[in-house]
Amino acid sequence: MAADRNWLDLRRYLAREPVILALLSIAAVILFLAVTGLSRAYHAQRESLGNRWFSRGVADLNARHYDSAITEFRAALLYSRDSYAYQLNLAEALLGLKRTSEASAYLLNLWDREPENGLVNLELARIAAQRGQNEQALRYYHNAIYATWPGDQTVERRDTRVELIEYLLKINATAQAQSELIALEANLGDDPTQQLRVGDLFLQARDYQNALAAYRLSLKGDRHSQAAMAGAGSAAFDLGLYPEAQRYLQEAVAAAPGDAQSSDRLKTTELVLRMDPFRRQISSAQRDRTVIGAFDAAGERIKSCALPKGAVTPPAWEQDLAGRWAKMKPEMTERGLRRNPDLVEDAMDLVFSIERQTSATCGAPTGPDLALLLIAKLHEGN
């Protein structure tokens, strides 16, 4: 009987075990789902709080309220310490307050994580530039140009290259700036605003030929642009293309009479065109009068040339040029020039020598003397 009872109990236990196991499994699943749900809710709550602080920080950063933005970004980081966006924006806010060292620490950490990030490279380039670390600045600028950017990568890369060019001009790396400008121009298109911008940069880099080409393209798209006309006039002036410079500068001054630089260059351009005895389509009589005027202007220039400090007598070069001028002076009449046409060349050679020498030792020329010096450069080697 006892054996039968034990066997019956065993059968009942074995019959209940699957039910118990099933109930335990269900309970385990429910507990797991509950824990997972609570965990997700917890993380979602943290993410929501982080995003809320981050949104406030972005608003304050855009409004340049850097102190508040720093506090808010740091609060956001409490909920997501490894967030790339939170750290990057915190670095931006720190830079806004000139806390460069702190910002640099964040940016270098972000660069280690994503060395191809365009904004991180750009900010590191700016920091290196401020510190005078030229090689590092150039490396980061080039990284930024070819890096990954959110949004319109073409615009971001173009603007980064422009910033690099401005930096190269600032540190007098003119040849490198010219190379970067040529690369920029190759992908710029015909947009008049961008062509005006690159024309200004070419002008600063003293690449007057490419500057003039850019200004022409800008005027092709916006023929009323006073800035482009003024730029084209300046570039043509520096290239010695005085008839073209005159046309552009006249239009620029007519559009903006207060443009003093264009006005001054226009006056000099008109003097060059009027005082050049070698210009085309000029009569012999007019050429002779022009030579006499230039000769008289050079004589006044050498007479007004101040003695070097502490000198009692003029230097040898001045005595020589003044003596040659005085010796030639009696022949410098319209009648004398008609009798001896070769005197035109001799007289202008002396005029150019006087203007070059006095420009180097007696201060920058102005008015007719500046015009004569430019005419001398125009005919060098002829």
87/203 same-domain check = yes
77/187 same-domain check = yes
Q: Which residues contact 363 (CB under 8 A, 6 or more apart)?
A: 306
Distance between CA 314 and CA 158 in Å, rounded? 56
Tell me what the pLDDT averaged over the chain comes to: 88
Tell me what pLDDT residue 343 has: 94
Within-domain flag for 138: yes
User: Which one is predicted more confidently, 8 or 85?
Assistant: 85
Quote the pTM value: 0.80
Residue-wise pLDDT for 333-347, tens only, equals: 999 999 998 999 999
61/210 same-domain check = yes
**Tell me, what amino acid is at 10?**
L
Within-domain flag for 131: yes
Within-domain flag for 239: no
**Of 219, 252, 268, the domain-final residue:** 219
**Of 219, 248, 273, the domain-final residue:** 219
289/205 same-domain check = no
Within-domain flag for 188: yes
Within-domain flag for 127: yes
Q: Which long-range contacts (CB under 8 A, 24 or more apart) does 136-142 make?
A: 137/167, 138/164, 141/167
| Helix 208-221 and helix 226-238, axial crossing angle in degrees, nearest 10 | 150
Q: How far is CA 227 from CA 195, 215, 248, 264, in A?
A: 11, 9, 10, 16
- Phi, psi (degrees; rounded to nearest 5) at 63: -85, 0
Within-domain flag for 240: no
Within-domain flag for 72: yes
In 3D space, the residue among 331, 327, 349 whose CA is nearest the CA of residue 340 turns out to be 331
72/158 same-domain check = yes
58/174 same-domain check = yes
Distance between CA 37 and CA 47 in Å, rounded? 15
210/85 same-domain check = yes
In the chain, the number of structural domains is 2
**Of 166, 194, 219, the domain-final residue:** 219
Both tokens of 230, joined, read: 């003024």
CB 194 within 8 A of CB 161: no
54/194 same-domain check = yes
204/321 same-domain check = no
| Residue 117 bridge partners (DSSP) | 148
Q: Which domain holds residue 72?
A: 48-219
Max Cα distance, the chain (Å): 161
294/168 same-domain check = no
pLDDT tops 80 at residue 276: yes
Within-domain flag for 265: no
The stretch 283-300 carries a mean pLDDT of: 95
The stretch 285-308 carries a mean pLDDT of: 91
CA–centroid distance for 129 within its chain = 14
Both tokens of 88, joined, read: 């990057």
Position 349 confidence tier, pLDDT thresholds 50, 70, 90:
very high
Both tokens of 154, joined, read: 């073409």
